[in-house]
A and B are shown apart, each in its own frame.
Chain A
Amino acid sequence: QEKETLSPERAEEAKLKAKYPTLAQKPGGSDFLMKRLQKGQKYFDSGDYNMAEAKMKNKQLPSAGPDKNLVTGDHIPTPQDLPQRKPSLLTSKLAG
């Protein structure tokens, strides 16, 4: 069998397949086009969007003092992220 020299495009394709063996067989297919139609950053909801926008605006202003405990707009907080509740000055009459 004759060994054909690969065209540059085919050689590049071989390189890509070697790096990403699971790449879809049909390149121009639905997945790729659907991703194109869905351009734009997705947010959880409008509240998430507005918090992210506010954070962007605040970054451009001199920060008063970053509150590391403040968790909003980026991700849903977990119990570890939330600040410790300060103990009340008045102790409840119900406790002891």
Chain B
Amino acid sequence: ADIISTVEFNYSGDLLATGDKGGRVVIFQREQENKSRPHSRGEYNVYSTFQSHEAEFDYLKSLEIEEKINKIRWLPQQNAAHFLLSTNDKTIKLWKISERDKRAEGYNLKDEDGRLRDPFTITALRVPILKPMDLMVEASPRRIFANAHTYHINSISVNSDHETYLSADDLRINLWHLEITDRSFNIVDIKPANMEELTEVITAAEFHPHHCNVFVYSSSKGTIRLCDMRSSALCDRHSKFFEEPEDPSSRSFFSEIISSISDVKFSHSGRYMMTRDYLSVKVWDLNMENRPVETYQVHEYLRSKLCSLYENDCIFDKFECCWNGSDSAIMTGSYNNFFRMFDRNTRRDITLEASRESSKPRAILKPRKVCTGGKRKKDEISVDSLDFNKKILHTAWHPMENIIAVAATNNLYIFQDKIN
């Protein structure tokens, strides 16, 4: 099993897609309620597996193009088939996943093995009949959107118009139509004329969930820009600029690096957005640009470890964050296979662990605690004992229920609320 690089529920939550470093996509489907097996309600089983991307070679730059799937985004379901977009660093693909549970038998021109029959031996005609067969799930690439990005794609986002989507790389954002693969519009370009003047890159981008003309993009300097496509074709000038003022006296070598936003997500309501930087998660009100309305510390104890985290490159880890269906809670990952959940109403937070030892089926997860001070209590773990190789970068929350998917390196954990 390869390292999981993205996790995403579809709009109904019945399907859960994961992408991995080897370019494969695995889709899980939730089991239907079954009276004969009451405990199997809510279990996700493998539905489809396919190779989405392969490694390629960029001949012009002599660089390898990784097949790792950076992001998967589902399209809203319009018919019996399911569609999703998956992307690696350079190419976005639209995949159709469809079921086949019937097959035709009794062809005239070929026999049951598929061999062609000699037409001269056919003396009578028959009408083929549809017979049920074992369910087969097929994935086929319907569109390939290539050659539009010089730099590495970090985000894709389907628009609420269900016709267009955006793709963002380090310096540019392109707008695509789902039906058209040979053209895309560039809507944001922050590449300076002189690359020596480069000061920031785009780290994430997302369309507003309801307003199809609005999108946001975050930067490596900790800022978010909201753009309105109605105001101009090229959205280099933002409509809103979100930045938290920084205390200049506390600025250090690490300040800019840890302020880099690794993920930005609109709330389901469309009123708020959430950003993840290295040490915290911030909730912003779209109507207030000068500071976030809520800030949650994910692992503040790491502030006194920044030197070693810079040396082992962990300071550059890109954590994602997600909202629950009602926007009342948020979740993000940390190290040591820990992940954190914050209740926005009660302001309570919890740290949980995704590991085999603490996750027996149907066992209740025990809250974990990191000890920052001198005296370590019995069940606590000290900061120096944390395993920084066990990072939870990708998490997803079911759109309606309290079911979460947590990717811990090459393992996928699915947790749900206790069923009474």
A-to-B contact residues, CB < 8 Å? 7-13, 15-17, 19, 23, 27-30, 33-34, 36-37, 39-46, 48-50, 53
Interface residues as binary, B300-336 with A (CB distance below 8 Å gives 1, 0 otherwise): 0001111100110000000000000000000000000
CB-CB < 8 A to A17: which residues of B? Answer: 253
Using A28-B257, A37-B151, A46-B57 as known contacts, say yes or no to A13 and B252 having CB atoms under 8 A apart: yes
Q: How many whole Å from B315's CB to the nearest CB in chain A?
A: 10
B201 partner, pick from A10, A27, A33, beta carbons under 8 A: A33
- Partner of B255 from the list A9, A43, A50 (CB cut-off 8 Å) is A9
Complex interface: chain B residues within 8 A of A53 (CB): 55
Q: What A residues does B254 contact at CB under 8 A?
A: 9, 12-13, 27
How many A-B contacts at CB < 8 Å in the complex? 94
By secondary structure, the A interface counts as: helix
Size of B's binding interface in residues, CB under 8 A = 37
In the bound assembly, the distance between CA atoms of A34 and B201 in angstroms comes to: 10
Evaluate contact between B196 and A30: CB separation under 8 angstroms: yes
Nearest chain-B residue to A39 (Cβ)?
A: B152
CA distance A17 to B199 in the complex (A): 22
Per-position binary interface string of chain B over residues 178-201, scored 1 when its CB falls under 8 Å from any chain A CB and 0 otherwise: 000000000000000001111111
- Any A CB within 8 A of the CB of B225: no
Separation of A24 and B171 alpha carbons in the complex (Å): 23
Task: Please tell me if the beta carbons of A12 and B252 are within 8 angstroms of each other in the complex.
Answer: yes
B65 in the interface, Cβ–Cβ < 8 Å? yes
Let me know if B201 and A36 touch, CB within 8 A.
yes
Confirm or deny: B206 has a beta carbon within 8 angstroms of a beta carbon on chain A. no
B123 interface residue (CB < 8 Å to A): no
B residues near A13, Cβ cutoff 8 Å:
252-254, 306-307
Q: Is the CB of B59 within 8 A of A9?
A: no
Cβ A46 vs Cβ B199 within 8 A: no
B170 touches A36 (CB 8 A): yes
- The answer to the question of B125 belonging to the interface, with a C-beta cut-off of 8 Å to chain A, is no
